[in-house]
Amino acid sequence: MYFLFREAITRKEDPLMFSFANDYSEGAARQVLEALIRHNDEQSVGYGLDDHCAKAADLIRNAIGRDDLDVHFIPGGTPANILAIAAALKPYEAVICAESGHINVHETGSIEATGHKILTAPGKDGKILPEEIEHLAVDRMEEHMVLPRMVFLSDATEYGTIYTKEELTKIAEVCRKYGLYLYLDGARLGSALTAEGNDLTLADIAGLTDLFYIGGTKNGAHLGEALVIRNDALKKEFRYHLKQRGSMLAKGWVMGVEFEALFTDGLYFDLAGNANRRAEELRQVFRSHGIPFLMETTTNQLFPILDNEVVKKIEKEYTVTFWERYDDTSSVIRFVCSFATKKEDIERFRKSFDAIMNER
Amino acid sequence: MYFLFREAITRKEDPLMFSFANDYSEGAARQVLEALIRHNDEQSVGYGLDDHCAKAADLIRNAIGRDDLDVHFIPGGTPANILAIAAALKPYEAVICAESGHINVHETGSIEATGHKILTAPGKDGKILPEEIEHLAVDRMEEHMVLPRMVFLSDATEYGTIYTKEELTKIAEVCRKYGLYLYLDGARLGSALTAEGNDLTLADIAGLTDLFYIGGTKNGAHLGEALVIRNDALKKEFRYHLKQRGSMLAKGWVMGVEFEALFTDGLYFDLAGNANRRAEELRQVFRSHGIPFLMETTTNQLFPILDNEVVKKIEKEYTVTFWERYDDTSSVIRFVCSFATKKEDIERFRKSFDAIMNER
Amino acid sequence: MYFLFREAITRKEDPLMFSFANDYSEGAARQVLEALIRHNDEQSVGYGLDDHCAKAADLIRNAIGRDDLDVHFIPGGTPANILAIAAALKPYEAVICAESGHINVHETGSIEATGHKILTAPGKDGKILPEEIEHLAVDRMEEHMVLPRMVFLSDATEYGTIYTKEELTKIAEVCRKYGLYLYLDGARLGSALTAEGNDLTLADIAGLTDLFYIGGTKNGAHLGEALVIRNDALKKEFRYHLKQRGSMLAKGWVMGVEFEALFTDGLYFDLAGNANRRAEELRQVFRSHGIPFLMETTTNQLFPILDNEVVKKIEKEYTVTFWERYDDTSSVIRFVCSFATKKEDIERFRKSFDAIMNER
Amino acid sequence: MYFLFREAITRKEDPLMFSFANDYSEGAARQVLEALIRHNDEQSVGYGLDDHCAKAADLIRNAIGRDDLDVHFIPGGTPANILAIAAALKPYEAVICAESGHINVHETGSIEATGHKILTAPGKDGKILPEEIEHLAVDRMEEHMVLPRMVFLSDATEYGTIYTKEELTKIAEVCRKYGLYLYLDGARLGSALTAEGNDLTLADIAGLTDLFYIGGTKNGAHLGEALVIRNDALKKEFRYHLKQRGSMLAKGWVMGVEFEALFTDGLYFDLAGNANRRAEELRQVFRSHGIPFLMETTTNQLFPILDNEVVKKIEKEYTVTFWERYDDTSSVIRFVCSFATKKEDIERFRKSFDAIMNER
């Protein structure tokens, strides 16, 4: 009912410590940085109308396998959500999401600030259920209640879980039935699509949703999310929204260069795959000590339930995120691996954790 | 979890039928109408700066017993809520209410349309609990979440229940503790304050809340709610909000005349008392047949649980409101009495209902 | 360039004084008041879905002579403008009006508060010119500038002037050419359509505009403006906007009753004609003393240029509106006659004014 | 009256051509890029709470010479303006600027989208005048008009002109007199402060304004503007606005790294000085042929008035911006030099231009 989890916002970090706090601690992937250096002295057209953005959009369309898609590069996830939602809805229309949805909890009311209500349902494992959507779509009293018009979901979710093709297809069917747009927040889409158990492809997602974004910030870019619009009704004059909401950067071509690199030679999925592999190795560390998890995940986030005394010891060497209180003596802690996490980082943690557990 | 209840919005009414659908079906109370007639040919200053509004505000201050209150007359309950909330909050601040709160369910996202998120808690019997407020006030992650800054509640609630002095006092204490404004929607405040079991006075409410409104529309006026502001921080330049949100009527003095009449010789409470007495008589009709209620109320709304076959028969002669499905064979039906409901209206219903029940 | 004119907002009135300050000082026209009395004890459906609103809408469609029009009753002019504009525009679209337009100057930024920019042109005599609209429609730099999408004008204008059929037709042509909606604010439409020199009909206005409103507040109603929507694209789900913006009154049927009376037996035009005739008599009073006018009007507003000493003497007996400074010794003063102004009120003023002028 | 000028938004560029279109065509300054490379593998805290942002803010406070300033890094100029203005104003408050102000013309109504009206005055040479501000501050009709509460100006202006210390001081005095916040958009502040004729310092600007921003995007950064807040009333909870408006980047530390470099060893002013010197050399090219300018500037923008035939020839080799039509045969063209413009780029242009002029 209530939202107890939190992201760690540590204000100082000891440089000797290692951080599993999130997947946006490090700079750009090597190939992304090299592309920035390579193109640094070129002159590009402003406001995202340059050749790099055009090329990056083509590469994304190729990766998806269809050419009827508009692609816009947006500085971050919150502005991508603001734009996708506020551009699609009329003033009295609302967006549906799980209670744990990022737009509902951790974006400081940015959707409401554009004038739109968020309707929520409990969901399961961070995922909204088709029957919850149907219920909210049906449960209306004409003009005295907002009109649901869009469903928001994230893949991977806030809990690191992923949607199966069957789940997303059923949700898409409910959306079509009730005239709801389906929008997917892909801040961690790379991790989701390369996770064990995933059976969705970029093409599936483009086909099932009306629009979605491919996250760059959390997968090797300095900044940038690629918003992909398939539904023609949502394409028109979208750049007006981009400009009005403050998300049209003068040097938009920087994001173009970064996504060009990310979608060359499969780099985007390689980086996400690395984060997932490291997370799996970390999972094994916990499993080797019989540590339970809040929920089973195969993406780059894991949520072990740890004794509070153990947590204190971990925090001497590692930055991690307190997620929620589990019981009187233990807590759920979030660990995140990134494109930049190395095998030796996990090895280092294994040693620390073994030592902590053996002390007990 | 979900909001299943509904107000009946019947598009046609048979004039021979009698309506228990709501308390805004009939015109103005006799004394209110007479005042409109009496002052019809006068010339008044526009935009609520006239002598009638000034006089009505004085009468309200007298009824409350303090003179440090600003009073503004607003055409309806939804604009009163919009104004009270949007004028008090900064863009990133939110208002807390029960899930069943009118602003959360039945005002078409009007609060979100002003840019503010509503944070909800389940509540009990339509009332928000102090501990729920405390939880929402504490459960925050700095700038990634909205900042709760106001509590909204209604007296009487959507379910016709009322707050006790102890309950409101505890809520006010939590509000003071966390720096939250307390705002009371008094669309049916007359009914609440004259209900059996009520121990609150207008003075208590003015003292415990930062601002509240005294509903006119549902208690004998054509239109108008008197918004009473006690907290000095909320008084300044309020008329700018009034004008900007479209709630400053050119002939604002009409509301002044109506409230002048309502607050002369205790008329406001007499009218509300009539509605409550009729509702109590109606309650006895149901009780005489052993009909259970969704919840116990002493105000002008009652929620009997009736067999669906019985409801069909009632609806041949009476307009009532389907509230929610109770089980496979029965429903919760809302009956409302108004300032204008007569003893003989209840007698007529008693005969109808006795006949229906005896047929079974 | 700057907006110097002002409406008098006098806070106290001596009841012995007579007010020419505006056309919303007095109550309802006799027939309107009688209708309210006649229907007072009826029960009506709430929220404007009642038989009186339905009947009033039919009467308005009959008066216009077409049945493809949606009609909504809105409490005042500012909310009517908010609704008409905000319901029609996408977030990045703008409305064009004359610099003196009411929405631009005297509605406290209410249009901007819904997120939309107003683009202005100087206009002439309070009227916007077709070439100004064309210029603003053409002068754009794609997504870096707002997209003009609607033209707002008033008939009569803020200066009491009126549009001819030729003028309105030319503006409508420019609007069609550039895909702009045309919206007419008819707060004083009765006065405009019954003014000498007018050649427009309600049917012309409905045909040339996409939507417009017929003002009730300034022509014999307590409150209420009838918004008439012809363009099908603007009709859908309009009641959601009504509710969300706080303009759907629970007792909306009160406005239905009032407009039913206004559009029975031509009352609406009779009342407006009275205001115009009295204004013409008042104009003759000034002309008889050779007083010049800021501009020539034939509606119920007049703008004589008076010596400041004369104004001071007038203000001892009459409430009038200072409009703007004319030169060091004289001012433009606004006089307004209403549906309720009587021939003897003008006679009384004539005597006062003759005396004042003869003293000099 | 109308805004005729435009920025060139060329969609394709021939890589052999050289662009004088703007100062955001090239990548980062060498030292900025090196800093990004140097810190790429570090782990930093997210959302701008990292050590680089803290260090960059300290360097900026040092450069200004006072420590009572809050500094926030914002991705671009439009979001900086949105944040500075929307965070400071109450819903009914307005911002004053020159008609040519960027927020009024070229930000797609982004300020209005936050609910606020922009009040404009003609200004002179792109600069607003103290007497214009005073006029708008005085010319109000209480709650029927918006309440002016802030003055927006740019240094350098849209026309490349700059404010003198005397001019800015007089404006600040008017602002203090009328309780108006003074906000300076410094997208090209580096160029302004290093321009010939400038007598303002960063310290002057911090002292005279309530808040201002130091532009990075147009002076050697990939992205980022440093918003400096001096007025304590505007500091509180500013990060809530940052997050809500979508301007809190997860990797905010990238902007920290870039500004750290820009404010080390005076790089920021060196880069701006280069742009100004190149612009002056370009000015001399035009002067050597007797070409007049729309207005005299000493910053990195120049506005020669060129024969249309000459413009056509220039455009074969150079990307420039059509600003406005001057007369039937000539146009105002904008040329911009940047931190990256080299002496040889100007030499190349000199030869081209000499040849073009000699052909005639």
DSSP string, A283-297: HHHHHTTT--BSS--
Q: What is the pLDDT at residue C12?
A: 42
ipTM: 0.95
CA A338 to chain centre: 13
Å between B178 CA and nearest CA of chain D: 16
Please report which confidence band the pLDDT of residue D114 belongs to, taking 50, 70 and 90 as the band edges.
Answer: very high
Q: Which chains would you list as touching B if contact means 3+ CB atom pairs under 8 Å? A: A, C, D
Output the average pLDDT for chain C: 95
Q: Which amino acid is at A145?
A: M
Share of chain D above pLDDT 90, in %: 94
* Residue B9 pLDDT: 38
The alpha carbon of residue A213 is apart from the nearest alpha carbon of chain B, in Å, by 21
Helix, strand, coil abundance in chain A, percent, nearest 5: 40, 20, 40
Report the percent of chain D where pLDDT is more than 70: 96
Test B237 with D115 for CB contact under 8 angstroms. no
| Closest-approach residue (CA) in chain B for A7 | B141
- Per-residue pLDDT of B275-291, as tens digits, reads 999 999 999 999 999 99
Chain B residues near residue D248 by CB distance under 8 angstroms: 143
C9/B28 Cβ within 8 A: no
> How far does A347 lie from chain C, in Å, by closest CA?
51
Q: Name residues of chain B where pLDDT drops below 50.
A: 1-12
- What's the mean pLDDT when you consider all of chain A? 95
pLDDT at C14: 62
Mean pLDDT of all residues in C9-36 = 83
Return the residue of D nearest to B241 by Cα.
D92
The reply to whether residue C2 touches residue D122, judged by beta carbons under 8 angstroms, is no
Question: Subunits with at least 3 CB pairs below 8 A relative to chain D?
Answer: A, B, C
Determine the distance in angstroms separating the CA of D240 from the nearest CA of chain B, rounded to an integer: 5
Which residues on A lie below 8 Å from B135 (Cβ)?
2
Percent of chain A residues topping a pLDDT of 90: 94
List the single residue in C40, C41, C223 with the smallest CB-CB distance to B249: C223
pLDDT value, residue D9: 39
Taking only the tens place, the pLDDT of each residue in D164-220 is 999 999 999 999 999 999 999 999 999 999 999 999 999 999 999 999 999 999 999
Q: Assess whether pLDDT exceeds 50 at residue C48.
A: yes
How close, in Å, is residue B229 to chain C by CA atoms?
20
Q: How far is B239 from chain D (nearest CA, A)?
A: 6
Closest to B186 (Cα-Cα) out of B167, B171, B196, B201: B201
For β-strands B330-336 and B305-307, DSSP reports them as antiparallel
Quick check: A1 pLDDT over 70? no
Nearest-CA distance from D76 to chain B in Å?
20
- C-alpha pair distances (Å), B72 with each of B251, D108, D146: 14, 36, 19
pLDDT tens-digit readout, C186-213: 999 999 999 999 999 999 999 999 999 9
Instruction: Tell me which DSSP letter residue A48 carries.
Output: T
Say yes or no for a CB contact (<8 Å) between A46 and D108: no
Burial class (CB in 10 A: 0-12, 13-18, 19+), C41: exposed
Tell me which chain D residues have a C-beta less than 8 angstroms from the C-beta of B45: none
pLDDT digits (tens, 9 = 90+) for C299-312: 999 999 999 999 99
- A250: chain D residues, CB-CB within 8 Å: 22, 24, 76-77, 217-218, 223
Q: Is the alpha carbon torsion for B98, B102, B103, B105 positive or negative?
A: positive
The pLDDT mean for chain D works out to 95
pLDDT tens, position by position, A114-130: 999 999 999 999 999 99
Question: Cβ contacts (< 8 Å) between A146 and chain C: which residues?
Answer: 240
Quick one: pLDDT at residue D325?
A: 93
CB pair distance less than 8 Å for B239 and D147: no
Residue-level pLDDT at A4:
35
pLDDT beyond 70 at A33: yes
Residue A222 confidence class, pLDDT cut points 50, 70, 90: very high
User: Which chain A residues contact residue C146 at CB under 8 A?
Assistant: 240
pLDDT of residue A5: 36
Q: Is pLDDT at D4 greater than 60 in this prediction?
A: no
pLDDT recorded at residue A20: 97
With tokens 């007419």, the residue in question is: C184
Strands in D211-215's sheet, in edge-to-edge order, are: D70-74, D225-229, D211-215, D181-185, D147-154, D93-98, D118-121
Per residue in A246-287, pLDDT tens?
A: 999 999 999 999 999 999 999 999 999 999 999 999 999 999
Does the pLDDT at position A131 exceed 80? yes
**Mutation test of the interface with chain B: which of A108, A146, A334, choosing the one with the most B Cβ atoms within 10 A?**
A108
Tens digit of pLDDT for each residue in A169-191? 999 999 999 999 999 999 999 99
End-to-end CA gap in chain A: 35
Selected for mutation to probe chain A from D24, D217, D318 (highest A CB count within 10 Å) is D24
Here the tokens at position C128 are 């916007």
Instruction: Give the pLDDT confidence score for residue A8 in this predicted structure.
Output: 38
CB contact under 8 A, B113 and A108: no
B59, B84 in Cβ contact below 8 A? no
The chain B residues in contact with chain D (CB within 8 A) are: 47, 86-87, 90-92, 114-115, 142-144, 146-147, 237, 239-244, 248
DSSP-derived 3-state class of residue C152: strand
**Which has the closest alpha carbon to B212: B232, B234, B228, B190?**
B228
Interface test with A, best of C240, C241, C242 (most A CBs within 10 A): C240
* Contacts B76 to A, Cβ<8 Å: none
Model pLDDT for residues D132-176, shown as the tens digit of each residue = 999 999 978 789 999 999 999 999 999 999 999 999 999 999 999
Record: contact C244-A142, CB cut-off 8 A: no
Cβ atoms of A222 and A27 within 8 Å: the answer is yes
Residues of A in contact with C144 (CB under 8 A): 47, 243
Q: Phi first, then psi: what are they for C16, rounded to 5°? A: -80, -15
Mean pLDDT of C74-92: 98
